[in-house]
Structure 1
Amino acid sequence: MGQLLAVPHLTRLMADMGAEVIKVESTIRLDPHRGDAFYGNNPGTQPWNQAANFNDQNRNKLGVTLDLSKAEGREALLDLIRLSDVFAVNFRPRVLQNLEIEYPTLREVKPDLIMLTSTGYGSTGPWQNYGAVGPTTEAASGLSSMTGYPDGEPVLPELPHTDYVAAEHGLVAVMAALLHRQRTGEGQLIDLSQAHAQTATIGEAILDYGLRGEVASPVGNSDRLSAPNDVYPCAGHDCWIAISVASDQMWASLCSVMENPSWCQNPKFNSNESRLAHSEELNASLGNWTKSQEAGQLMHRLQAAGVSAGAVATGKDLLLDPHLRERGFFEAVAHYPDSGLPALPYVGRPWKFSLTPGQTRSAAPTLGQHNHYVLGNILGWSEERIVGLEQSGVIGNAPLDPPTAAPLPLERLLELGAIRQADGDFESIVRRIIQAPQ
């Protein structure tokens, strides 16, 4: 019972590795991710089944809809919990209390249940019922105080970074709880705070204050310990490369790739300490050289010389990247016919197991797609009873109040700067990616 990202991403990782995951939804209040990012910017006649973010995070899952305000909807949920190893939710404590699905209640139904609650600020303490989305948890976690440029405002990530961090922390916690249960037979509650999962990644800033009374400030793209360390312009429109020099030897290698221009011999740049002190002048000189270089080619030349460098990649760059293709990172997913979507490439897993690799076995479910299978085949309820649930609105495969999806035209998104380009031939590019041998 997870919406948006934190819990759906956690359970997607489990599903990719073979777990049977059942996503419990509502026809009354849709997962917000069922309403955004459409193929070809066209929501179609059933936008709730065509939203890209939902389809990305919910592959390999069975989908069932239940109205938990009705007795039979609650009964179905409890029957599913009796058969489950893990129950994961991202609802605030107040919601769990209203639905009567708090851990002590569910433990009576299944004593060895592992329940994970993933909330913005945890299920205890004065913030327990505060609402949370990516930007707010990033701010509250302390991360936003360290992003941006000196003397500037904090810069929030474009993507909900905290959700992904919380999902991966949650995955480790669930696996540890499963191992504990395997050894002892005991289930338990995992109370995960998404903001605190993010705070755990900035321990250095907390130590700075605890040890020396220092409050970390944003430093832009620079590094406190070495220079050059920044993102530099390259040939073409909006093309960039990140270069990070961590030693004098690496600096010498960078100068060699540049064929040792005269400014490299400036005594100001002879040592790391001096380069740090004159980083603004150094960055200007280096950027003036990189702006005539093609980013991808320069990255390979620098890497061959032992210099840390990475061309700034767009989504299109990544889909076309031969390295990712060779590693089989993107997987072609054939959507269910009712979704109205063609096969599309989705990201795989960042790890590669030598014996038990994960795989995408099925696309994300359309709304209520597996109601009959889950209630009939898994719970053993009769077809007559299931049809009755459909007639009474306990289950369904369409929203009771269908949303109106009206995405902004691509031309307007370009004007607003929300996207940098819109390729009219993207469909043919996507088809080539899907058909290319791995």
Structure 2
Amino acid sequence: MVAQPLTGLKVLDLTRFIAGPLCCQILADMGAEVIKIERPGGEDSRKLAPFYQGHSIYTMLYSRNKHGGTLDTRHPEALAILEDLIRNADIVVENYRPGTLDAMGIPYERMQELHPGIILVSISGFGQTGPLAGRALFDGIAQAASGLMSMTGERDGRPTLTGAFVADYIAGYQGAIGALLAVLHHRATGEGQCVDVASIDALFPVLGTAPSAWAMNGTVMERNGSRDRMSGPANLFETKDGFLYLHAGTDPLFRRLAVGMGQAELADNERFSTVASRMDHIEEIERIVAEWIAPLTCAEAGEVLEEAGVPYGKVAGVDEITDSEQIAAREMMVDVEHPVLGTLKLPGIPVKLSATPGSIRKAPPLVGEDNDFIFGTLLGYSDERIQELRDEQVI
């Protein structure tokens, strides 16, 4: 097997839902040994639809390559077990509300006593500091509170949630980046540190120029539908059999579009010859493009745009993109063999490394599937001790 970049790194995953589990899965995909702990009976996300053979697909998406264990963290015996797990870890990842680790008896100071040099990654809604630090947050709340929702939707419509959990995913990626940076520092100095990632912080930069435009110019960016704010024509257009997004906002791209449409003179028209002039007459130029594209199918329009060198994309349904040749070529839907559930079809690994690629080595675990490995093989508990913990409903 090809060596992986994080082989030998041990991660304790105390997270739930998306951001934290995704952070840990990224590390696991690249070779880290990840111990995922959830309550006996399973975490809340295991109750979320859709289901495959009675098991939540939601949970499957963020659990591959992990060893699954259970622990009732509120049980009187849990603290000693948590401390053993921390001694065995290089990184602890958690997404409790700030202050919860202190209440559990394992603040970062205690973790350092148990394992000097340990790294703690905390992913929370509003971060470990600030007036909102103690508040709970889900993805939709992050989209609302960050300003993103105010910018999403039609100009005369209501603020709109995006179609995916973008805040959770971005926070998960930032958590993984922070963990890796802390690992580099540890390898250079032997020092551990705390990595503080807030969903609201992770999403705020996605607003692009909007915050700086307000801070420096006093202008507020409002909802703009699918129209690009900076240049045009760059918008969603309806064809004979669907919708297609094209971007011809720069001057060279617009000239290519004009030629492709058979209306080359548009590029020299003073109303459309520059980015600024096109934005001043954006509705007019979009109407011209809309009239050109309306009688065409997506395939016919795409052929013209491809030949002209204008970037475009058909609005694909989830079924179309999932079954597409491009996704297959990029190995972004893969078969994962599960010992109980059979073949699972799950998203692949988006980061492609040429020398040390990630891999899917283990299917998402069932609840407590690896308790014997975690508490027996890793922590050295006897079979009798493990059975006692089961009988007392500690694990």
TM above 0.5? yes
Residue number among 286, 290, 297 corresponding to 2:289 in the alignment: 286
Are residue 388 (structure 1) and residue 388 (structure 2) matched? yes
* Inter-CA distance 272–342: structure 2 relative to 1 (3 Å threshold): same
How far apart are 1:16 and its partner, in Å?
Answer: 0.7
- Cα distance between partner residues in 2 of 1:349 and 1:313: 21
How far apart are 1:229 and its partner, in Å?
Answer: 1.1
Write the mapping of 1:79-94 to structure 2, written as runs, cut at 5 A.
79-94=84-99
Q: Contact 1:113/1:187 (CA < 8 Å) preserved in 2?
A: yes
How far apart are 1:232 and its partner, in Å?
Answer: 0.9
Residue number among 334, 339, 342 corresponding to 2:337 in the alignment: 334
- Cα distance between partner residues in 2 of 1:16 and 1:149: 39
Residue number among 272, 277, 281 corresponding to 1:274 in the alignment: 277
SS at match of 1:57: coil
- Cα distance between partner residues in 2 of 1:15 and 1:280: 49
How far apart are 1:205 and its partner, in Å?
Answer: 1.5
Q: Give the structure 1 partner of residue 16 of structure 2.
A: 3
Q: Contact 1:5/1:163 (CA < 8 Å) preserved in 2?
A: yes
- Cα distance between partner residues in 2 of 1:251 and 1:124: 47
- Cα distance between partner residues in 1 of 2:275 and 2:129: 47
How far apart are 1:17 and its partner, in Å?
Answer: 0.8
SS at match of 2:262: coil
Residue number among 304, 309, 319 corresponding to 1:306 in the alignment: 309
Residue number among 171, 175, 191 corresponding to 1:186 in the alignment: 191
* Inter-CA distance 263–304: structure 2 relative to 1 (3 Å threshold): closer
* Inter-CA distance 304–16: structure 2 relative to 1 (3 Å threshold): farther
Bigger share in strand: 2
SS at match of 1:293: coil
Q: Contact 2:45/2:58 (CA < 8 Å) preserved in 1?
A: no
How far apart are 1:379 and its partner, in Å?
Answer: 0.7
- Cα distance between partner residues in 1 of 2:252 and 2:186: 51
| Deviation sequence 1:323-377 (CA, Å, 0-9, x none) | 221222221111231xxx3413222122211111111111110001001111011
Are residue 319 (structure 1) and residue 332 (structure 2) matched? no
Are residue 21 (structure 1) and residue 34 (structure 2) matched? yes
How far apart are 1:270 and its partner, in Å?
Answer: 4.4
Are residue 175 (structure 1) and residue 190 (structure 2) matched? no
How far apart are 1:287 and its partner, in Å?
Answer: 2.4
SS at match of 1:128: coil
Q: Contact 1:231/1:242 (CA < 8 Å) preserved in 2?
A: yes
Q: Which runs of 5+ in 1 are unaligned?
A: 396-438
Q: Contact 1:263/1:285 (CA < 8 Å) preserved in 2?
A: no
How far apart are 1:300 and its partner, in Å?
Answer: 4.9
SS at match of 2:228: coil
Q: Contact 2:258/2:264 (CA < 8 Å) preserved in 1?
A: yes
Are residue 159 (structure 1) and residue 164 (structure 2) matched? yes
Q: Contact 1:229/1:243 (CA < 8 Å) preserved in 2?
A: yes
SS at match of 1:53: helix
SS at match of 2:61: helix
Q: Give the structure 2 partner of residue 200 of structure 1.
A: 205
Q: Which runs of 5+ in 2 are unaligned?
A: 1-13
Amino acid at match of 2:27: M
Root mean square deviation, CA, Å: 2.2
**Percent of matched pairs sharing the same residue:** 32
Q: Contact 1:241/1:295 (CA < 8 Å) preserved in 2?
A: yes
- Cα distance between partner residues in 1 of 2:307 and 2:29: 35
How many residues align structurally? 382
How far apart are 1:117 and its partner, in Å?
Answer: 0.9
What is the TM-score normalised by the length of structure 2? 0.90
- Cα distance between partner residues in 2 of 1:304 and 1:350: 29
How far apart are 1:203 and its partner, in Å?
Answer: 4.9
Q: Contact 1:241/1:311 (CA < 8 Å) preserved in 2?
A: yes
- Cα distance between partner residues in 2 of 1:298 and 1:291: 9
Q: Give the structure 1 partner of residue 117 of structure 2.
A: 112
Q: Give the structure 1 partner of residue 372 of structure 2.
A: 372
* Inter-CA distance 301–9: structure 2 relative to 1 (3 Å threshold): farther
| Deviation sequence 1:48-82 (CA, Å, 0-9, x none) | xx111110111110000001222433222211110
* Inter-CA distance 382–297: structure 2 relative to 1 (3 Å threshold): farther
Amino acid at match of 1:8: P
Q: Contact 1:141/1:198 (CA < 8 Å) preserved in 2?
A: yes
* Inter-CA distance 203–251: structure 2 relative to 1 (3 Å threshold): closer
